Amino acid sequence: MTDPISQDKAAFLAVVKKYEGMHDVSGVLALDPVNGPMIRHWAEAMGDTNPVYTDPEAAARTHFGEVVAPAAMLQVWIMRGMQGGAPANSATGELYKHFTDNGFGSVVATNCEQEYVRPLRLGELVQYDQLIETVSEEKTTGLGTGHFITTLTNIYVDGESGRELVGTHRFRILRYTPHKKKAKAAPPAERPLRPRKVVNKDNQAFWDGVAAGKLLFQKCLDCATPRFPFAPGCNKCASLEWDPVESTGKGVVYSHVTMHYPKFPAFDMPYAVGLIELEEGVRMLGNVLGVAHDRVRIGMPVELEFVTHDAELTVPAFRAVGEN
């Protein structure tokens, strides 16, 4: 069973795939020879202060022996200026028309890979050939659905024994149909609530304490060992008898993390979660307040601050002491 849509897609792919390997242009000369002023402007714009690009004396002391162009300028020498672009009668011009005619009207550059065979020197006039290397099958990306097109430009200079390859430039674009926008811009998503606390008979007393503005841990009535999280019995002596004890809420950061990924819409990413060792000797988790997530440190003193996130959720958090 072949549906008409996939038949159309196959036919289109067959047409555009024919362009793979086609030469677009050959032996096109650069508009300008490799020259000092363009190098200087480029290096300044890039913040590249290496004197081998601009200072003949300094360059003479390097293994290049003379001023060379920055390798990454390779594409600069073959650009056709503001009015350039693929002429309509070229292979790429024709190929692009197939895409625009078939609904792939949007374009975005996705990759550029270059190989540098040897440095270019002042006065050299490059020339280049360009071919269409590959046309991908239909792909769907975050932007939309379309095809990747990779062109390969080989860059030469005339040498004593014919053309000498100095570099290659692979450029990939996506010709695509953007994802359909929703008819009406969605209203800003209402922020989801934080994950809920989980309460049962074993830890009810803790959350009752939070509701009363108290941070509680347990203390064994037989061996006096403090404990947290809440459990019905003592790990030290197996006693089931315990009392709730209110913590002063003072402690230090015992460990901490900063959450970056995945993005949880209920939280402001990134955010710090601390494991706090309270002065009574038990540890508890809480967000660390009053200090940037990347300034939280182990050993940092903190004190309790209850934070109410919504009508049903108040949780202990810990504010860094002495931080501004």
Residues engaged in binding other proteins (CB under 8 A): 194-200, 202-203, 227-229, 235, 254-262, 264, 266-267, 270-271, 273, 275, 282-283, 285-287, 293-294, 298, 309, 313, 315, 317
Render the burial of 2-32: b for 16+ CB within 10 Å, e for the rest. eeeeeeeeeebeeebeebeeeebbeeeebee
What span, in angstroms and rounded, lies between the C-alpha atoms of 146 and 133? 17
Closest distance of CB 300 from other proteins, Å? 12
Calculated CA dihedral for residues 212, 214, 220, 225, nearest 10 degrees: 170
159 Ramachandran zone, left/alpha/beta (phi>0; psi -120 to 50) = beta
Closest distance of CB 235 from other proteins, Å? 6
Q: Which residue lies nearer to other proteins by CB, 19 or 228?
A: 228
Q: Which residue lies nearer to other proteins by CB, 99 or 228?
A: 228
Sign of the four-CA dihedral 205, 207, 212, 215: positive
Q: Which residue lies nearer to other proteins by CB, 95 or 296?
A: 296
Closest distance of CB 290 from other proteins, Å? 16
Q: Could you tell me if 287 and 275 are in contact, meaning their C-beta atoms sit under 8 angstroms apart? A: no
The amino acid that residue 76 corresponds to is V
Closest distance of CB 270 from other proteins, Å? 8
Q: Could you tell me if 284 and 304 are in contact, meaning their C-beta atoms sit under 8 angstroms apart? A: no
Render the burial of 196-222: b for 16+ CB within 10 Å, e for the rest. eeeeeeebeebbebbeeebbbbbbbee
Closest distance of CB 266 from other proteins, Å? 8
Q: Which residue lies nearer to other proteins by CB, 224 or 257?
A: 257
Q: Which residue lies nearer to other proteins by CB, 180 or 196?
A: 196
CA angle 56, 160, 27 (to 5 degrees): 95
Q: Which residue lies nearer to other proteins by CB, 36 or 244?
A: 244
Closest distance of CB 18 from other proteins, Å? 31
Q: Which residue lies nearer to other proteins by CB, 23 or 309?
A: 309
Closest distance of CB 116 from other proteins, Å? 21
Q: Rounded to 5 degrees, what are φ and ψ at 304?
A: -65, 140
